[in-house]
Structure 1
Amino acid sequence: MGELRGVVAPFVVPGPSGVAVRDRLKHLSADDENVLRLVGDHLGSLASRDLKARCAAGLDHDGDAWAERKRLLTGQSSSRWAGSITKATHDQWALARRAQLAHLQGLQAGVRTVAHRLSLPLQEKGTKHAPGGYRNRREWFAKRRRLHVLEDRLEAAQADWRAGVVRVVRGGKRLLNTRHHLPAAHLTEAEWRARWQAGRRFLAADGESGKRYGNETIRVTPGGEVSIKLPAPLAYLANAPHGRYVLAARVAFAHRGEQWRDRITTNRAVAYRIHHDVLRDRWYLTASWTIPPVATLPLAAARARGMVGVDTNADHLAAWRLDAHGNPVGAPLRFRYDLSGTAGHRDAQVRHALTRLLHVAQRHNLAIAIEDLDFASEKTREKHGRRKRFRKLISGMPVSRLRARLVSMAAELGITIVAVDPAYTSRWGAQHWQKPLTSKTRKTTRHDSAAVAVARRALGHRIRRRTAPPPAHQSDGQEHRTAQAGYGTRGGEETRPRIPGPRTRSAGTGHGANAGDQGTQHRSECPAEHESLQDSPPLSF
């Protein structure tokens, strides 16, 4: 058996730092839609040219170059529009740079894995942490060729990284490639062109505190009136003073509407974005702003009443409520979701499952313990080979979407989220809790026992149950209890005191001491959970 790695200590997840709400722009006139298209296309062309200039500058870009780019855009739009475009360009380039680094690390991992497997004899068995050799000579030869392909790609990616070269497609690379496969996508050229133009439009303005209603470029009044500051070349389209165009639509944010109204009435910054949903032929307005960090409870306070442990799976959340001593309470819970269909359907399914989970935690006034999952290194084709079903399974788990939704929704309800290391939770949970929690009327699954393990780790307890001694060594007969003692019970793990007087089947003087330190005994789960850590996984929240 390989050496067990250290386990990261549980931590309280910080709350969200921003808010975004959306509402539909209803009852737009034909002139309104025409103006939005003209302004979006004009600013989109400026954003494309600015992004091209930023990518050409590469690593040599500095503050002076940024100011020069903004100066060139100001004459063709306005100072505030130019500021929004250059900031969006900077963020897009930085995102592409981070994606390039992730791609580079993935190639390096693939090269290492293939080279390791090629160095092993054929049909050599692997371990949990390293794959074995290839099955036959034919597969070995094919992977040898793939190693050369990966090495060539890695060399090209490293050259681009050193030179600061990134490749960005405004509108999306996937949509761009769809242009060459229109019959397979069931699209006509006109339909594709409409999506492409909508994806490349730019209608976003950053907020500015101290200005009227928190934004001078896209202004929304407390009554819901939306007006846009037109770029200089399109100022002739204005229907209001000072080069502004007022839309016929009115907005009223149903979600967080009071918070939004409080901000704009005090002239605090609110950023807006207008986009067109081509499939539904609808226009939407998104408002966003930053919020101060949400005050989180200390870990000790979050553990005071117990915890709801959650095991994340590809099609459901398995949960179980535990008391403060680590004992399961009630029956296991299961919140299912279906991740097939459109993105909107998948998002709604995740929100519904999380809502039910949060209502359970709110009803019992408990914190939620969830695994700090990260499958970035587990999806590689080189590691799992032909196990396509398993790769599809872990790729389909909504880790990023679920954790972002959970943190945001829990902050609104005042529920604390505790993240724990996912190491060995499924294995040890099944080993120590699946059979004891199974009865004639209840079948405990591996996922249910993993939820218990997650909650116990968040509470600071070891995952294993307290094991009863053999009958011959039980001081209270054949009914020695195995229940978990209180976490703060004094002497709960110490040697039992020597009781004077005659005893049946008792050891002689000096030989009746029990093992005071259970960590020194041979256990299936070592006390590595309480040791210091060397390699901590990245924070998922």
Structure 2
Amino acid sequence: MAAPFVVPGPTGTAIRARLRVSDTDTAVLAEVGVFLGGLAAGDFVVRSRQGLEHGGQTWAVRKRELTGVSSARWAGSITKATHDQWALARRGQTAEVAWLRKQIASIQERLARPLGAKADKREGLPRGYGSRAEWHAKSRRVHALRGRLAGVEADWAAGRVRVVRGGKRLARLRHHLDQAGLSERAWREQWRAARMFLAADGESGKGLGNETIRITATGRLSIKLPAALARLANAPHGRYVLDATVVFRHRREEWLDRITNNRAVAYRIHHDVLRGRWYVTASWQRTPAFVLPLEAALARGVVAVDMNDDHLAAWRLDRHGNPVGEPRRFFYDLAGSAQHRDAQIRHALTRLLHHTRATGAGAIAVEDLDFTDGRCREKYGRNKRFRRLISRFPTAKLKARLVAMAAEQDIAIVAVDPAYTSRWGAQHWQQPLSTSKRKVSRHDAASIAIGRRALGHPIRRRTAPPPHDRSDRAEHRTVQARPDARRREGPRPRIPGPRTRSVPPGSGAKAGDQHAQHRSGHAAERGFWHQDSPLLSL
């Protein structure tokens, strides 16, 4: 099993504020965004055609062509966004190739097994397919995946990527407007808003950390207009000042510190068509926080959390691995829109962090879960309900949100190996902790297993001490000590004096000789006990 570790903190942050724009501001922002979006689309086409032949000279040529119709800073932002999008598409191709190869190998292993064969965990053999029809369907599936893999590998070798600016989902929705309940006009508004480009990277040493999109300490927002739209300027140097005032309510002091010292801040303006609102997002890089050693993070105990599809099961454990207090559960609902799901997760994590601070613990222990390949049928068979449960499990979002929010509260996040935590937790902790007034669930018991693994203790709970007669018939007590603790099985201290009933135990001459004691695993138990034969006559 992998050793527990402290998760590093976030390296960047982003804040968002609403823009209460006027009709004039709306018209200007829409015109500028559509114009720059067209330039970004054309630049991405040129970059995609270059493929692997791209270099510094071709980048300079593209930037020079964009500068003539916009500005040097807008051209730099557009070309950088193009490179980031192309690199993201390449990483997506790499992930798709790895997933296809794994799927093909998994299906081929099952195709090689006899029909109805059971899985052999010792030999590492999967189970066979249940019927001949299923075997035939999977053989056709393998051929389809091989053809798909050949196409992706060909694109990868040629440096060709496939990207839809505005989103593939929205593009496909154009052919199903009746099912989505949208009119063609409403869809075109969303399509235009998704393809706008109103983003500018910051630059340290420049005024307020950004020369293209500038926000002052009083909330005054101004935009450097492209050369082709200079007629829209209402301020000197070809700038347009919005009537709206920007108010950042979250991390405002940190943002003010950056713009006051002229440190880089990136801004992005986008339009939410469904709500009819405009937003501005400010983002910047942060200095990597110091990662606490594992021992220091766990010095005050830990709040162990078992993540589930509808709630977080948490229990406080002291540094010795003992559960303290009562279990807590923080529920959330993942039904509905993406904004609703994100709000539910943030609310549940906020309550978890408040509970951690209230208990005095300095760390939260979570499982290092990764369900990237856990939604396939080859792994879970025909259990469609369980596959859907795994698919909607927000592992990546939960971990990213928890790490970012815990860093602001000075709470460390400790990740542990998730192997058998639910099974062993239910086996060793669920029944002993359940009472007539408290019902301990399987998830609560799993949280204890997670916490004990983070603290370095075995999941098995401490056994009861021997009976009062000191007999070995009940076995010896499991010593509750850390794996690195020394001399925990050493002899008792040597106290001078005869070992008789008139003196306390441990004071005899052989008090430190473990071989003279009846101890488990010592020489006193290895010898054979011989009894003399009884007398035949008296």
Aligned length in residues: 505
Local SS of the residue matching 1:247: strand
Among residues 348, 352, 367, which one is paired with 1:353 in the alignment?
348
- The answer as to 2:213 corresponding to 1:218 is yes
Distance 1:204 1:291, change over 3 A: same
- Gap change, CA 1:511 and 1:119, over 3 Å in 2: farther
Tell me the SS of whatever aligns to 1:435. helix
Which residue does 1:529 correspond to in 2? none
Query: Given that residues 368 and 415 in structure 1 are in contact (C-alpha distance below 8 angstroms), is that contact kept between their aligned partners in structure 2?
Result: yes
Q: For residue 277 of structure 2, what is the aligned residue in structure 1?
A: 282
Residues in 2 aligned to 1:409 and 1:147: alpha-carbon distance in whole angstroms: 43
Aligned twin of 1:513: 519
The partner residue of 1:92 within 80, 85, 93 is 85
Post-superposition Cα deviations, 1:57-105, rounded to whole Å, max 9, x if no partner, equal 1122122222221111111111000111111111111111111111111
Contact 1:81 1:217 in 2 (8 A): yes
User: Of 401, 404, 411, which residue of structure 1 is paired with 2:407?
Assistant: 411
With over 3 angstroms needed to count, the CA separation of the structure-2 counterparts of 1:159 and 1:352, relative to structure 1, is same
Partner of residue 372, structure 2? 376
Q: Is the 8 A contact 1:324 1:459 kept in 2?
A: yes
Deviation at 1:268, TM superposition (A): 1.1
**Alpha-carbon distance in structure 2 between the residues aligned to 1:156 and 1:486:** 54
Are the aligned partners of 1:317 and 1:334 in contact in 2 as well (CA < 8 Å)?
A: yes
> CA separation in 1, counterparts of 2:424 and 2:282?
46
SS in structure 1 opposite 2:69?
A: coil
The normalised TM-score by structure 2 is 0.89
Inter-partner Cα distance in structure 2 for 1:386 and 1:35 = 55
Q: CA deviation at 1:127?
A: 5.0
Match of 1:393 in 2: 389
Please give the residue correspondences for 1:45-444 in structure 2 after superposition, counting only pairs within 5 Å: 45-126=38-119, 131-366=126-361, 367-444=363-440
Structure 2 residues without counterparts, runs of 5 or longer: 506-513, 523-538
Aligned-residue offset at 1:472: 9.9
Question: SS of 2:414's equivalent?
Answer: strand
**Cα distance 1:11–1:351, how it changes in 2: closer, same or farther (>3 A)?**
same
Residues in 2 aligned to 1:440 and 1:107: alpha-carbon distance in whole angstroms: 51
User: Helix, strand or coil for the counterpart of 1:310?
Assistant: strand
- Gap runs ≥5 in structure 1: 1-6, 517-541
| Separation in structure 1 between the aligned mates of residue 469 and residue 169 of structure 2, nearest angstrom | 68
- Describe the superposition over 1:246-272 as per-residue Cα deviations: whole angstroms up to 9, x where unpaired: 100001100011111121112111110
Please tell me whether the aligned partners of residues 325 and 487 of structure 1 are also in contact (alpha carbons under 8 angstroms).
no
Q: Distance in 2 between matches of 1:125 and 1:181?
A: 44
Amino acid aligned to 1:119: A
- TM-score normalized with structure 1 length: 0.88
Q: State the match for 2:7 in structure 1.
A: 13
Of residues 416-425 and 245-254 in structure 1, the stretch that sits farther from structure 2 once superposed is 416-425
Mapped to 2, the partners of 1:108 and 1:135 lie a distance apart of: 23
Larger Rg, first or second structure (1 or 2) = 2
Shift of 1:113: 1.1
Query: Displacement, 1:181?
Result: 0.9
8 A Cα contact 1:224 1:250, kept in partner: yes
CA distance in 1, matches of 2:159, 2:449: 45
Q: Of the two structures, which has the highest relative contact order with CA contacts closer than 8 Å and spacing of 6 or more?
A: 1
CA distance in 1, matches of 2:339, 2:492: 60
Structure 1 residue 117: deviation in Å? 0.9
Q: Distance in 2 between matches of 1:235 and 1:282?
A: 25
Quick one: distance in 1 between partners of 2:429 and 2:279?
50
Q: Compute the RMSD of aligned alpha carbons.
A: 2.5
Question: Secondary structure of the equivalent of 1:216?
Answer: coil
| d(CA) in 1 for partners of 2:31, 2:453 | 57
**For residue 420 of structure 1, what is the amino acid of its counterpart?**
V
Identity across matched positions, percent: 62
Q: Structure 1 residues 57 and 496, CA, compared in 2 at 3 Å: closer, same or farther?
A: farther
Deviation sequence 1:321-377 (CA, Å, 0-9, x none): 101111111111111100001111111110111011101111123111111111112
Q: Distance in 1 between matches of 2:381 and 2:359?
A: 45
Q: Residues 487 and 105 of structure 1: is their aligned pair in 2 closer, same or farther, counting only changes over 3 Å? A: closer
- Cα separation, partners in 2 of 1:235 and 1:167, compared to 1, 3 Å: same
Name the counterpart of 2:17. 23
Letter in structure 2 aligned against 1:15: G
Offset at 1:425?
A: 1.4
For the residues of structure 2 that align with 1:395 and 1:265, how far apart are their CA atoms?
A: 45
